[in-house]
A and B are shown apart, each in its own frame.
Chain A
Amino acid sequence: QKEVEQDPGPLSVPEGAIVSLNCTYSNSAFQYFMWYRQYSRKGPELLMYTYSSGNKEDGRFTAQVDKSSKYISLFIRDSQPSDSATYLCAMSRETGGGADGLTFGKGTHLIIQP
């Protein structure tokens, strides 16, 4: 079993829909939880990070972490075609990954249909 599980999709939704992306993990030592977005032929870019449990909102994006269930989510409201990309969850024990680096899910390929 991988440390971080993420459904690879593809997930296809119509423009304007609410998108829900999820990851589960097994290592209880993880303290930092991140969501990266990766467009084709580009490196990942950080969307949001959360420390420990709780919710965090940034514009159309909301990240949730439930450490008791080892489950994290990313919600995208009013989805746009430009949101079409691969979304990667990532986790670490230390801020920014530290010496251990980041542990990633495999990524969910999201398609927003105009």
Chain B
Amino acid sequence: KAGVTQTPRYLIKTRGQQVTLSCSPISGHRSVSWYQQTPGQGLQFLFEYFSETQRNKGNFPGRFSGRQFSNSRSEMNVSTLELGDSALYLCASSLVGTGKSYNEQFFGPGTRLTVL
């Protein structure tokens, strides 16, 4: 079974631009979560989508948004990029409601975004 894939793997943008990142979850997984990883703050939860609905959002400004499509693929968008948005953006997928004792989150390799 293929793992979580993220595209592109690397991006370089300039301040003020916007960017869209893509995530394809493991087949059959309907929950997709996004995280931002920086050396200063570590891994921080951005938002989670299930069945095309955003169920929760972390403490990030409105410039960060996302969506999920009917095939569970997800995109996140960052508008008006700032230098501090430089980070590794990780996507994770999981099964929901399986009745198992634990539903693991499987992470993709991430997209490395550099804002100049």
Contacts and interface: CB of A to CB of B under 8 A. Distances in A.
B45 interface: yes
Given A99-B48, A99-B50, A100-B45, A43 B108 contact: yes
Given A44-B90, A96-B105, A105 B45 contact: no
Interface in B77-109: 90, 92, 94-96, 100-109
Nearest to A97: B105
Contacts of B94: 96-97
Contacts of A49: 102, 104
Contacts, number: 74
Interface residues of A, number: 25
A47 to B, nearest CB: 11
Interface size range of chain B in the complex: 20 to 34
Interface in A56-114: 88, 90, 95-107
B56 interface: yes
A90 B104 CA distance: 12
Contacts of B104: 46, 49, 96
Nearest to A50: B102
A100 B105 contact: no
B4 interface: yes
Given A51-B101, A99-B48, A99-B50, A104 B42 contact: yes
Contacts of A106: 41-42
Contact of A105 (B42, B50, B92, B102): B42
Contact of A101 (B33, B41, B110): B33
Interface of A: 32, 36, 41-46, 49, 51, 88, 90, 95-107
